[in-house]
Structure 1
Amino acid sequence: MTKSKPIKKRGLMQEFKHLRKNRELLLLAAPGVLFELVIKYLPMIGLILAFKYFRYDQGILGSKWVGFKNFEFLFKSQDAFRIIRNTLLYNMSYIFLGTLTALILALLLNEVSGRMVKIYQTTLFLPYFISLVLVGYITYAFLEHKSGYLNSFLQTIGLSPHKWYLETTPWIFILPIVAVWKGVGFSTLIYYAGMVGINSDYYEAAKLDGASRLQMIFRITLPLMKPLIIIVFILGLGNIFRGDFGLHYFVPNNVGANQATTDVIDTYVYRALAKLGDINSGAAVGFLQSVVGLITIVTANFAVRRIDKENALF
């Protein structure tokens, strides 16, 4: 038997030469790396505010440590159960409905001829770039009591109009519809790109065997798309404890009458801190949301590894 040669470790000079050789690629990546550092990583220093009683005259480092006292703000609130329940249930509905709708639309795009694909892609992707403030106005145009499009339609078919912003139950359906409409284009393009990358030989062989389009979808497309679906699903779970502030604040129009079903952790904390000005509690809630998101991702990935190791994220 031939012995395998040990892998030689590169020295410092070799590493430097390797970096010089790829300096164009490193320069190209520099703006993105700098953006991530400044926007995502440097602000993480402020996480210590979650464990301090911050005073402006003493600064971040000089302020007094208070341990986990700031976390009591969320859990001692009488609305704690309601807002946590709303956050989790809404996010689960967004993940499942968004994934299902995006997969169906991606499968339909995959069946469309090349000329029309660009038109459908642009149409689906356009709402993703619309500001949630504008989405709130669009929703208001549909739901306004006197002259909203939806109430006008209800009156034409003989039904009485609704004061949607003063009701609670309809928002359980309105918010997921708006969330899916706005974000489904991005997810659809991700899944469509994955489908385009599937080797056409699989479909040619299936056609020779007499398989129908539906059989090819369930026997070829979806099984080969499973790793991508799992990765997107796991990453989506990372935000399950973090509510979409813009969606839940601007779309329901910040009306107190519907907050029983529209309020989530982020909107509740915003309203509370706007009155109290306690940034320590806000930092504590944000830190808690990040920790729960990390735990959720790791747990979901662990479960996937136990079932199918090859499709795990890490």
Structure 2
Amino acid sequence: MQTRSLLTKDNVPKIKKKAGIWQELFKNRFSYLLIVPALVYVFIFSYATYPYLLIAFQHFNYQKGVFGSEWIGFQNFEFFFKTNDALLITLNTVKLNVMFLIAGTTTAVFIAILFNEIRSRLFQRFAQTTMIFPNFLSWIIVSYMMYGLFSTDFGMINQMLTFFGMATVNWYTKAEAWPWILVMMKIWKEAGMGSIIYLAAITGIDHSLYESAEIDGATRWDKIWRITMPLLAPTIAILTLLNLGKIFYGDFGMIYAIIGDNGVLYPTTDVIDTYVFRSLRQIGDPSNAAAVGLFQSTVGLLLVFIANWFTRRYFKEGALY
């Protein structure tokens, strides 16, 4: 007995063809228009500047341009590495960035966990706004605020010391204190904004895990330590790896705005970026600055690769690739 197929030409389900990239762009053209300014910015200040890396190996002449200037090999790198302060400046850069990274990451994670534990929505919004606001202040404004705190004659801290019968301190001559002061200001200004990423990762954790732990009698601390922190660890590792690439870059905007040309504080606060900027003002040779910038980028790239290799070997969830 023969059976007729129930599938006919009319009732066979039609398979929708996958839209091409141009169809996708046209269909969501208004959404993609939003990223055009960011793409233009990245292209101009990132990719379009690659040919200018050649300046690091030239005696650059503004009239002859990039492809017409004299090639001098690695002589521009000697400008930095043969100076007496090269080792000190490099160590200052690494030390400050390591302090910023450890203190900033720890504080941002701590703030994110606190925000997640707040039950009052109104207070949570107020606290988040308060913590994020300093990020929108420029370092110039922050430097004047710090002068109001640490000024020898009128600073609030010295006035408090005088009130308690203690001697005033000339903070702007105490080089050993400024790495810690810079770390505190870095945390105050940027930790609130940094906590947003960690808070987003925390809110993405399956809430049923907390409910199950609560049924088993887990306290708030147990849930933080045994659920939140292990599941937050990959995000912490990835962001730390990304920040390692900038470990040889000093925060020029911060340090120059606060320290400026105060030579007394150079032994502990002078970093590669501020040193190159001062040299560029005095010498006026962009080739030297390009050589140092290329050195910073190369070392940062190598650090990211090495750190990612170790992370992938011992903690795969936290690796970049």
SS across alignment from 2:70:
strand
CA RMSD of aligned residues (A): 1.7
Equivalenced residue count is: 304
In 2, are the aligned partners of 1:136 and 1:253 still within 8 Å (CA)? Answer: no
Q: Per-residue CA shift, 1:162-183, capped at 9, x if unaligned?
A: 1111121111211111111111
SS across alignment from 1:267:
helix
Q: Which residue of 2 aligns with 1:153?
A: 160
Q: Which residue of 2 aligns with 1:90?
A: 96
SS across alignment from 1:59:
coil
Q: Which residue of 2 aligns with 1:197?
A: 204
1:46 maps to 2:24: no
Cα distance between partner residues in 2 of 1:31 and 1:57? 31
Q: Per-residue CA shift, 1:128-163, capped at 9, x if unaligned?
A: 111011111111110100010011111111111111
Unpaired segments ≥5 residues, structure 2: 1-16
1:293 maps to 2:300: yes
Q: Which residue of 2 aligns with 1:266?
A: 273
1:300 to partner: Cα distance: 1.0
- Percent identity reads 40
Q: Per-residue CA shift, 1:62-120, capped at 9, x if unaligned?
A: 00111111111111000001100000010000000001111111111111121111111
Cα distance between partner residues in 1 of 2:225 and 2:44? 44
1:187 to partner: Cα distance: 1.0
1:18 to partner: Cα distance: 4.5
Q: Per-residue CA shift, 1:270-295, capped at 9, x if unaligned?
A: 11111111110001111111111111
Structure of larger gyration radius: 2
Cα distance between partner residues in 2 of 1:206 and 1:310? 23
1:15 to partner: Cα distance: 4.7
Cα distance between partner residues in 1 of 2:289 and 2:185? 27
1:233 to partner: Cα distance: 0.6
Which range moved further: 248-257 or 285-294? 248-257
Query: TM-score normalised to the size of structure 1?
Result: 0.93
1:167 maps to 2:174: yes
Q: Which residue of 1 aligns with 2:70?
A: 64
Cα distance between partner residues in 2 of 1:19 and 1:278? 45
1:9-28 correspondence to structure 2 within 5 Å: 14-28=20-34
Q: Which residue of 2 aligns with 1:102?
A: 108
Cα distance between partner residues in 1 of 2:214 and 2:21? 51
- The letter for the 1-side match of 2:102 is F
Return the match for 1:275 from 279, 282, 286.
282
Return the match for 1:230 from 226, 232, 237.
237
Q: Per-residue CA shift, 1:196-229, capped at 9, x if unaligned?
A: 1111111111100000000000100001111111
1:14 to partner: Cα distance: 4.5
Query: TM-score normalised to the size of structure 2?
Result: 0.91
SS across alignment from 2:66:
helix
Unpaired segments ≥5 residues, structure 1: 1-9
Q: Which residue of 2 aligns with 1:117?
A: 124
